[in-house]
Structure formats: C-alpha cells, structure tokens
Amino acid sequence: MFRLAHFSDPHLGPLPDPRLSQLLSKRILGYVNWRRNRARAMSGDFLVRLLDDMRAAAPDHVALTGDLVNIALPLEIEAARAWLESLSAPDDLSLVPGNHDAYVPGALKSALEAWRPYMTGDARPALEPHGHQVQFPFVRKRDGIAIVGVSTARASAPWLATGKIGIAQARRLEEALARLGAEGLFRVVMIHHPPFRKATAWHKRLQDASRVRAAIRKAGAELVLHGHTHVDSRETLKGPDGPIPVIGVPSATNAPGGRKPGARYNLFDIAPRDSGGWSCHLTERGFTAPGRAIETIADCELAIPVPR
C-alpha cells in the first residue's frame, strides 16, 4: 500500500512589510485583502497542528498544490523556501505553483528558482530556454505511483485569479499520461486550478480547462488533485475507461467557523487489486468547528477506473 497525503493553499503568513514600490501593482489589492480578511481567517496554529497530524499518519509522499504565498513578495518566496526545507526533503514532497505564487509578472520566475527541487521530475530535466522555468508537467515515480505535476500559474490582471496550462504543456501532459498508463502505473495528476467550467467564479477559472480535460479523456489517469477553491469537493472527469475522481481540498491554514471550511488535508491509501486495477481509500482530516481538535471528516473508498 502507498499512502499519499495532499494539502493545498497554505498562504503562509504573516505578510512581511512591503516597500511602497512593491505595492504599485496588483499587489496593493492582495495586501488590502490580507489586512482586512486573510490575516484573521488564516492566523493561529492551524497549519502547524494540521501538519503534525499529517506526519503522524506517516505518508509515503506528500502532494502540495500551490499558493504557498499571498502576494509573492521576494521575502515571502524566500520564507516559503525555508518552510519547505523544514517540512520535507524534495524527493518526498511534490509541489505545483498556484496563482498567488505568480501574483505579478516576474514572481513565478523567482518562485520556480527558489522551490525548484520540489518541482522537478526524477530525471531532473534541464531548464527551458529562458533559463528559469522547470519543465511542466514533471513526473515522479514512487512504488507503482506516478505523480504528474501540472502548472497553471500565470500572472493575471487585477481582480483576476485565473490560470492557464497552455497548448504545449497540455500536449506533454497527454503524452506523459499515455506513457505512464502503458507502464501500468497509478497516475496522480496534481494541478492548482480545478479543470471544470463551473468549479469557480469566472474571474478565478482555469481559462483553458478543456485542454486538461481533453488530455485526460484521451490518455487517462486514476486520480486528479487540486486546490484553489478553499473547499472540499469530489467530482469526476471522463476518462477512456470510466469516470476519474477529482478531489479538491480546503486551505491548510483556514480557521474553522468561517465562510470556508477549516484547515484540512487528505490521505489516499493506494494499492493494486488482485483482480486488476487499483483500490484507493480516501481519509479527510481537519478542523470542523472552533475549539475542536482535528478529526476524521470523511472515510470512503473511491471508484477508480479499471483499464480495459
């Protein structure tokens, strides 16, 4: 059995004091939002307690689907690098960036440089021609499990939190999934934005979600994990052998009792079936109400398509 843990959107705080010049951009909107809303909703020790609980569950690998920072200040990105290093060795944690990690032009470049060891495949591919961007999707193989990291992070205009995968990455995704499927691996796709039309508001959508759906519909996968929405969700995507589970997780720092669910993470216990195909058991752990300890919120078996 392979145990995979998934958490997302930690939005690490507190926010460092920005220089005025750093706020002369979209960052001013995020800074005001932090001061008015997120500083309260995402304060406290919920993330620390959640990660302690996750470590006690002894996962074999951890998937983190983006939004480590808030407005992508240089000091935020550097602090997130130190936090990652204290959390896990790069071989044991896979990361894809979110829209807040690419909050303004140039931020994603800095984030990829700082967090690169957690976003590269086993082959440690060379950098792309621009000299700063790791090749996405990356692939990591762990005991029959293939972790496929997709990036939807793009700098967007003020008031937008959209993402995009792009034509070239979508093509590589389809090729990778087909190759890994032929090897008989359990394929886990990590992506920040959910690949649905109606999963988020228009201004937070994945602009070319149809490309992700098309790649998965043609090549297949066994499980898709995402963040971004700050809510727990279970959907499916069409695959060549049947519906594929798509699981979203709330923010790992959100205080319980507000508009969005309290901090949570998911555990997936994955094992091959003697009759063929795979079993995958989901356990959702987190905070449900102020003053309550971490508890199990969901405990169920997921339906995984069996290759024909």
Three-class secondary structure assignment of 255-275:
CCCCCCCCCEEEEEEEEECCC
Per-residue model confidence as pLDDT tens digits over 100-125: 999 999 999 999 999 999 999 987 65
Q: Of 291 and 37, which is predicted with more confidence?
A: 291
Phi, psi of 269 (to 5 degrees): -95, 115
Sheet containing 61-64: order of strands: 93-95, 61-64, 2-7, 264-272, 278-286, 295-302
Q: Which residues pair with 239 in a beta bridge?
A: 242
Both tokens of 242, joined, read 């049947």
Question: What backbone torsions phi and psi does residue 296 show, to the nearest 5 degrees?
Answer: -80, 125
Lowest mean pLDDT among 5-9, 38-42, 262-266, 272-276: 38-42
> Which of 59-98 are b and which e, b meaning 16 or more Cβ less than 10 Å from the residue's Cβ?
bebbbbbbbbbbbbbeebbebbbeebeebbebeebbbbbb
Q: What gap in Å lies between CA 149 and CA 134, rounded to an integer? A: 11
Position with higher pLDDT, 208 vs 19 = 208
What integer pLDDT is reported at residue 130 of this predicted model? 43
Asked if residue 254 lies in contact with residue 41, where contact means CB atoms within 8 angstroms, the answer is yes
pLDDT, one tens digit per residue, over 190-226 is 999 999 877 888 899 999 999 999 999 999 999 999 9
Give the pLDDT confidence of 32-58 residue by residue, as tens digits.
Answer: 776 677 766 677 799 999 999 999 999
In the chain, the percentage of residues whose pLDDT exceeds 70 is 94
pLDDT tens digits for range 49-100: 999 999 999 999 999 999 999 999 999 999 999 999 999 999 999 999 999 9
Handedness of CA 188, 195, 235, 267 (dihedral sign): positive
Query: Given a cut of 60, is residue 301 above it in pLDDT?
Result: yes
Q: What is the pTM of this model?
A: 0.94
Measure the CA–CA gap between 299 and 184, rounded to whole angstroms: 26
Sequence-ordered strand ranges (E) for the chain: 2-7, 61-64, 93-95, 138-142, 145-149, 186-190, 223-226, 233-239, 242-248, 264-272, 278-286, 295-302
Strand pairing category for 93-95 and 138-142: unpaired
Mean pLDDT over 271-287 rounds to 95
Rounded Cα–Cα distance for residues 206 and 226 (Å)? 12
- Judged against a pLDDT cut of 80, whether residue 308 lies above it is answered with no
Q: How many CB atoms lie within 10 A of CB 288?
A: 15
CATH architecture assignment, domain 2-302? 4-Layer Sandwich (3.60)
The mean pLDDT value of the chain amounts to 92
Confidence category of residue 3, pLDDT binned at 50, 70, 90: very high
Question: What would the two tokens of residue 231 be?
Answer: 């809510």
Residue with tokens 């792309």: 128
Average pLDDT on 231-252 reads 97
Name the pLDDT band for 276 (thresholds 50, 70, 90). confident
Q: What is the pLDDT of residue 39?
A: 63
* Strand-pair partners of 155: none
Amino acid, res. 246: V
- If you ran DSSP here, which 8-state letter would residue 149 be given? E
* pLDDT for the residue 21: 65
Please give the share of the chain, as a percent, with pLDDT higher than 90: 79
The CA angle 129-130-131, to the nearest 5 degrees, is 85
